[in-house]
């Protein structure tokens, strides 16, 4: 059994084990077991980094066995520079989520931990699958634990939020399923790499692109199919929000680079203006929407949508840049855009996860997410306030944090495409700072607003440790992103050369 199979299987089997142990044991065996499993998974996943060949765009750690020969479906796993960082992000965050729910989750804690472990295995499966049907299996199966997580441990309107989340995502994915079946009938296999090489007429490419777009745009989410996200985020428990923002949204971005761009490059070239427009609307319009939110989680949710706009913008800048210049001259700019988008995905995973954890810390004490209920938190929780301000700065794209790297690269690249793209994208530096820092001002600074704030206890060691680890990784990625960029470079160069060749 290969490393990737172990990374997928261990959390899933471990989750079942945690379920079997149950919540009733006195020593809280379930939590310790869940933590141990997630930590072992994380340590094992580091082997993906140490054993990674930085010099190739080929798939690595490949495992390939026939699964359902009737449809030529294979159990086909492998990773490259695009998927490895995302897998590492998933394995890094899962132990955090388990620790974050340590004492907070009172209702069925074993089921809570198990749901996140199973979800982790499925997320890794999504990023590692190279067979489209295997990918779809993981992609859809993920809905079940997420549906349960939001619905059981969520807030007041959790049922509405979780059903909306499920139906939106499900609607997007079934159309993708139709496209995948079509591609299978054309190519004779479900291998994603075969799909990449399959020549397709432009009308077929267009339909396939649109089918994928529905699936991935919902997941990213892009304006105007984003409305499920604020609801899901607000109602989800802290762990659910973290995993949703940090990993699940990235699957939409991952889908674009793994499916849409390489399978339908000509359709992508035709529709790139449309995609850029949607991305810029997400950046600018959703930025304004975030500004007026009164609920902290909702504000961060909208800020996530705006930040994910940079991801889609970076991916679809390719053709806009190449219209101005040849591939040889424009390569650096194109590469900058795509690399920026990828860095933005990882960085947003860390920062938004941290922001939701911060809100979680406050919520556990006050049971309110309303900005108006807070004020002057710095007076009673100074350590916490320092970290929250740090993450807010990172969210606003402060140089030196990881948030800066991705956004800056994408803005630079968009300048090569069109001045106005760059101009609109750069408004995020103002808007992002405005909505995040204004929230911080109202929540953290100022005089103590009420008696509840007065009684607040500062972070305990558990919470402090979590946020410090995240702060360190945000700083590390901001100051020294080279290892991440080097890991992705050969894959992205290969991707760019692939998508700029017509498949007609």
Partner 1 sequence: MSFIAPQFAPALPEIALAIGICVVLLADLFVSEQRKSITLWLSLATLTVAAWFAGGALPEGSQLTFSGSYVADGLARVLKLFTLLLVGVVFVYSFGYLKDRALLKGEYYLLGLFATLGMLVMISAHSMLTMYLGLELMSLALYAMVAFDRESPVAAEAAMKYFVLGAIASGVLLFGMSLIYGATATLQLDQIAAALAGEGSVTPAVLLGTAFIMVGIAFKFGAVPFHNWVPDLYHGAPTSVTLFVGTAPKLAAFAMLTRLLLTALEPVVEVWAPMLTGLGVLSLILGNVIAIAQSNIKRMLAYSTIGHVGFILIAFATGTAAGQQAALFYTIVYAIMAAAAFGTVILLSKRGYEAENIADFRGLNERSPWFAVMMLFVMVSMIGIPPFVGFFAKLNVLVALINVEQTWIAVVAVLFSVVGAFYYLRVLRYMYFETSDTVEPLVAPINIRLVLSANALAMLLLGVFSEPLLAWCGAVIGSQAF
Q: Tell me how far, at minimum, the Cβ of 73 lies from partner 1, in Å.
A: 9
User: Where does residue 353 rank: exposed (0-12), middle (13-18), buried (19+ CB within 10 A)?
Assistant: buried
CB of 210 or CB of 277, closer to partner 1: 210
CB of 49 or CB of 147, closer to partner 1: 147
Checking DSSP bridges between strand 73-79 and strand 60-68, what pairing results, if any? antiparallel
Regarding 25 and contact with partner 1 (CB under 8 A), the answer is no
How many Å apart are CA 347 and CA 388, to the nearest integer? 16
CB of 148 or CB of 276, closer to partner 1: 148
Query: Which of 163, 277, 281, 437 lies at the binding interface for partner 1 (CB under 8 A)?
Result: 163
Contact of 415 with 330, CB cutoff 8 Å: no
CB of 131 or CB of 463, closer to partner 1: 131
Candidate ranges 36-44, 161-169, 326-334, 430-438; the one touching partner 1 (CB under 8 A): 161-169
- 3-class secondary structure per residue, 101-121: CCCCCCCCHHHHHHHHHHHHH
Comparing C-alpha atoms, which of 356, 245, 241 is closest to residue 306?
245
Regarding 204 and contact with partner 1 (CB under 8 A), the answer is no
Regarding 55 and contact with partner 1 (CB under 8 A), the answer is no
Regarding 177 and contact with partner 1 (CB under 8 A), the answer is yes
Regarding 331 and contact with partner 1 (CB under 8 A), the answer is no
Phi-psi domain of 456 (left: phi exceeds 0; alpha: psi -120 through 50; beta: other): beta
Candidate ranges 176-184, 215-223, 387-395, 493-501; the one touching partner 1 (CB under 8 A): 176-184
How many Å apart are CA 234 and CA 296, to the nearest integer? 9
CB of 148 or CB of 361, closer to partner 1: 148
Regarding 140 and contact with partner 1 (CB under 8 A), the answer is yes
Residues facing residue 63 across a β-bridge: 77
- 3-class secondary structure per residue, 155-207: CCCHHHHHHHHHHHHHHHHHHHHHHHHHHHHHHCCCEHHHHHHCCCCHHHHHH
- Residue 61 has a CB neighbour count (10 Å cut-off) of 20
Regarding 157 and contact with partner 1 (CB under 8 A), the answer is no
Q: Tell me how far, at minimum, the Cβ of 158 lies from partner 1, in Å.
A: 7
Cα four-point dihedral sign 278, 281, 283, 286: negative
Q: Count CA within 13 A, CB hemisphere, residue 58.
A: 6
CB of 32 or CB of 182, closer to partner 1: 182
Element (H or E) spanning 12, and its range? helix 3-21
Q: How far is CA 140 from CA 147, 163, 171, 173, 174, in A?
A: 11, 15, 11, 8, 9
Cα four-point dihedral sign 45, 388, 400, 492: positive
Q: Which two tokens stand for residue 487?
A: 């890991």
Q: Contacts with partner 1: how many residues (CB under 8 A)?
A: 35
Q: Tell me how far, at minimum, the Cβ of 423 lies from partner 1, in Å.
A: 39
CB of 1 or CB of 185, closer to partner 1: 185
CB of 86 or CB of 161, closer to partner 1: 161
Candidate ranges 143-151, 275-283, 343-351, 379-387; the one touching partner 1 (CB under 8 A): 143-151
Candidate ranges 43-51, 131-139, 267-275, 431-439; the one touching partner 1 (CB under 8 A): 131-139
Q: Tell me how far, at minimum, the Cβ of 67 lies from partner 1, in Å.
A: 8
Query: Which of 36, 51, 54, 71 lies at the binding interface for partner 1 (CB under 8 A)?
Result: 71
Candidate ranges 6-14, 50-58, 61-69, 463-471; the one touching partner 1 (CB under 8 A): 61-69
How many Å apart are CA 132 and CA 110, to the nearest integer? 32
Q: Tell me how far, at minimum, the Cβ of 314 lies from partner 1, in Å.
A: 31
CB of 148 or CB of 248, closer to partner 1: 148
Regarding 17 and contact with partner 1 (CB under 8 A), the answer is no
Interface residues with partner 1 (CB under 8 A)?
19, 67-71, 108, 111, 133, 136-137, 140-141, 143-144, 147-148, 151-152, 158-159, 162-163, 166-167, 170-171, 174-175, 177-178, 181-182, 184-185
């Amino acid at each position: 059994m290969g490393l990737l199979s172990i990374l997928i299987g261990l959390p899933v089997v471990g989750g079942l084990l945690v379920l079997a142990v149950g919540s009733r044991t006195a020593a809280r065996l379930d939590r310790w077991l869940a933590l141990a499993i997630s930590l072992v998974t994380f340590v094992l996943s580091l082997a993906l980094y140490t054993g990674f060949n930085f010099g190739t765009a080929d798939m690595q750690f490949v495992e390939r066995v026939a699964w359902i020969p009737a449809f030529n479906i294979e159990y086909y796993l492998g990773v490259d520079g695009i998927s490895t960082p995302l897998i590492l992000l998933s394995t890094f965050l899962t132990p955090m989520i388990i620790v974050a729910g340590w004492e907070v989750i009172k209702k069925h804690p074993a089921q809570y931990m198990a749901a996140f472990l199973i979800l982790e295995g499925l997320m890794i499966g999504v990023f590692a699958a190279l067979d489209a049907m295997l990918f779809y299996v993981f992609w859809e199966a993920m809905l079940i634990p997420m549906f349960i997580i939001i619905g059981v441990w969520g807030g007041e309107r959790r049922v509405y939020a979780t059903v909306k989340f499920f139906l939106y995502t499900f609607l997007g994915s079934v159309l993708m399923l139709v496209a995948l079946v079509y591609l299978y009938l054309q190519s004779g296999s479900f291998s994603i790499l075969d799909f990449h090489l399959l020549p397709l007429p432009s009308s077929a490419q267009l339909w396939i692109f649109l089918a994928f777009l529905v699936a991935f745009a919902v997941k990213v989410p892009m304006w105007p199919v984003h409305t499920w996200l604020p609801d899901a985020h607000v109602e989800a428990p802290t762990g659910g929000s973290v995993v949703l923002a940090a990993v699940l949204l990235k699957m939409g971005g991952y889908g674009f680079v793994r499916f849409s761009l390489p399978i339908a490059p000509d359709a992508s070239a035709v529709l790139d203006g449309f995609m850029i427009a949607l991305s810029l609307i997400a950046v600018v319009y959703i930025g304004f929407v975030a500004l007026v939110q009164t609920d902290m989680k909702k504000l961060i949710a909208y800020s996530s949508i705006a930040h994910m706009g940079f991801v889609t913008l970076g991916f679809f800048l390719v053709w806009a840049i190449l219209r101005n210049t040849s591939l040889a001259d424009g390569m650096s700019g194109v590469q900058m855009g795509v690399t920026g988008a990828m860095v933005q995905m990882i960085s947003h995973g860390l920062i938004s996860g941290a922001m939701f954890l911060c809100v979680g810390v406050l919520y556990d004490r006050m049971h309110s997410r309303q900005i108006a209920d807070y004020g002057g938190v710095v007076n009673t929780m100074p350590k916490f306030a320092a970290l929250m301000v740090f993450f807010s700065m990172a969210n606003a794209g402060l140089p030196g944090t990881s948030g800066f790297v991705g956004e800056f690269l994408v803005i630079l690249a968009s300048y090569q495409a069109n001045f106005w793209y760059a101009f609109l994208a750069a408004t995020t530096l103002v808007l992002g700072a405005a909505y995040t820092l204004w929230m911080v001002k109202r929540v953290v600074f100022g005089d103590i607003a009420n008696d509840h704030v007065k009684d607040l206890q500062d972070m305990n060691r558990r919470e402090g440790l979590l946020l410090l680890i995240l702060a360190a990784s945000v700083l590390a990625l901001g100051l020294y992103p080279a290892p991440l960029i080097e890991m992705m470079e050969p894959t992205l160069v290969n991707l760019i050369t692939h998508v700029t060749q017509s498949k007609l």
